[in-house]
Amino acid sequence: MSLSIEVRLPTQVSQTNSCALGNADESLQRARLNPRHELWQHLLHLAESDGITIAKSMEIYEAAIECFPNTPSLQLAYLKKITSKDSLKTEQQLEDLLKLSLKTPSVEICALYISFIRNQRSVASLMETYKLVLDLVGHEADSWTLWHQYIRLIEEVRGHIALREVLHEVVKIPMMNLPDLWELLEVYEHQYHESTAEETLAGLLPLYTKALRVHAEYLRHMHLLDPSPTPGPRQTADKINSILPASPLSSVSVGQLMRRWEAYLGWEESDPLSLRERNMATYINRLRNVYIKAVVRLRFCPEVWYILSAIIYIRLYSHRLPQRYMAYKWWLSVGDADEGLLQLKMGVKANNDSLLLNAALAEALELRDEQDQARSLYQQLLSQLRTALFSRRDLVSVGDIAKDFGLVYIMHMRFEMRNKGLTAAWSVFHQAMEDAPVIPWLVFEEAAKIACSCTVRDRNDLAFIAFEAGMAHFAADIDYVICYLDWLISIDDRMREDAAQLWDRWSRYMYRTGDLDSIQEVEKQMARIYGLADLRLKGRQAYTKGNTSGTPR
């Protein structure tokens, strides 16, 4: 698989694209129209400058979060703004925004939420909040700060018995300070449970050792995903989550980076901690967070939204659902259809020209009986491709877009056939015929096949009309002509005469203008279908003996 992405956005904004303080509104409007524009980086610097109001700063961050959802650095900077002494939000608004931000897998955001609750709520509420955030991010490598705080709180409020249960769980989590936690557990066991300490520690040692090994493997993956001179775990993880998503550009390192992400996700999916045996909910949540981080980091790569989630899904749930449109199916499989649809919509928003994601979203909408939205999506995609076709100049890109154009028409016809029947499907086909100069002949073949699949009496006549309409544009395309001939021969012996006339028409054209290899290919096809031993001789006579009519004598 080959993707084109850039590892870093430029740290310096060019003079041409820079915006002055006075042009913040204009720049924000331009950036909203193009989420890949480097203006976003400048606007975010502007939001932190001294010469901007808190209201304008919050407006910039809210627009950036809408464009780059689940990006921890943006969420965190925004939350720090709204929780500052200059905030314009009420206490309830602050709490609602903080809760909403917990969907972003970030230890720092969870820590900010805990700080807010600590200042506003009772100890009991604080305990419940710790449980909530540790369920969300307690398995992250940098969650050790939250665990330390929780351990101290447990010791103060619940006592030694509750603390022992927490310590027994936390030493199984791959974190940076795991040896310190193990030492704390050793001291605790020998101090309060001397008679059973050695036996208890021996039972936990294999899981602790596994956690140490998994943490070391995790650091290696993080360093490969984002190399740094001093790859500390916190620093490396934060870098991956904090930079803005890169735009697709030609880069020799793209394939390598994508393979590293696939390797990391495959490693997480392989369940190195054996979580599935102990806590399936934690395993699914851990994979969910990894998936969100992947699409945040590589937001403008459609394949990431599709393929990375597919890697998770195939081994987990392939026995339950067909392996198509895996991202959506994965969310369905964990009981959150609305979240699955939201992820697809976010992927399309970031990559609105992606045929892969648009097709997945259209099918998801159809499965939910939201046919009008699916229909609108097909029409919107056709409009985008039509515009792209007539704006390109190089033949290679035009050819690729034309193939996609035809494929969308085919998908749209099939969609209408499934939901409204032949009349609606052929309405789309009539629209396609208006674009006939730039669509592939497969669209005409599909229209004919759709007609043949119906129970109407004149289905063959409709198919004949579709094929004949294609002949006006593809009479010189041997693949199309052969496709048409095969259909004519297959439906009825009575049609062999029509097929023979079409072969005659095609062969005369080739004898007059084709090269020898092409002529021999036509003769081979005719001989295969009709079994005429002297066909080659007759055709060659028409080609070599000056027969101006081109008709074999």
Residue 286 has pLDDT above 60, yes or no: yes
Gap between the Cα atoms of 339 and 435, Å rounded = 37
CA angle 544, 549, 552 (to 5 degrees): 60
The pTM (predicted TM-score) of the whole model is 0.66
| Residue 216, both tokens | 């070391």
| Residue 176, both tokens | 């940076």
At 314, is the pLDDT very low, low, confident or very high (cuts 50, 70, 90)? very low
Q: Is the dihedral of CA 287, 224, 76, 66 positive or negative?
A: negative
| Residue 501, both tokens | 């006339």
pLDDT tens per residue across span 358-369: 888 898 899 889
Quick one: angle between helices 280-297 and 337-350, nearest 10?
10
Q: Are 488 and 461 in contact (CB under 8 A)?
A: no
Q: What is the DSSP string of 224-269?
A: HHS--SS--HHHHHHHHHHSPPPPP---TTHHHHHHHHHHHHHHHH
CA atoms within a 13 Å half-sphere pointing along the CA-CB vector of 58: 14
Torsion of CA 184, 190, 192, 198, to 10 degrees: 110
Gap between the Cα atoms of 532 and 495, Å rounded = 18
**Residues whose CB falls within 8 Å of the CB of residue 120, separated by 6 or more in sequence, listed in order:** 91, 95
Gap between the Cα atoms of 8 and 4, Å rounded = 13
- pLDDT score of 546: 43
* H or E element at residue 281: helix 280-297
Task: List alpha helices for 17-83, DSSP H.
Answer: 24-33, 39-47, 54-67, 72-82
At 374, is the pLDDT very low, low, confident or very high (cuts 50, 70, 90)? very high
- pLDDT score of 393: 61
pLDDT tens per residue across span 395-444: 556 788 889 999 999 999 999 999 999 999 999 999 999 998 889 999 99
Residue 217 has pLDDT above 80, yes or no: yes
Domain boundaries, the chain: 375-474, 498-553
Gap between the Cα atoms of 421 and 434, Å rounded = 21
- Candidates 10, 89, 88, 83; CA nearest to 42 is 10
Gap between the Cα atoms of 169 and 172, Å rounded = 6
- pLDDT score of 162: 87
* H or E element at residue 203: helix 197-225
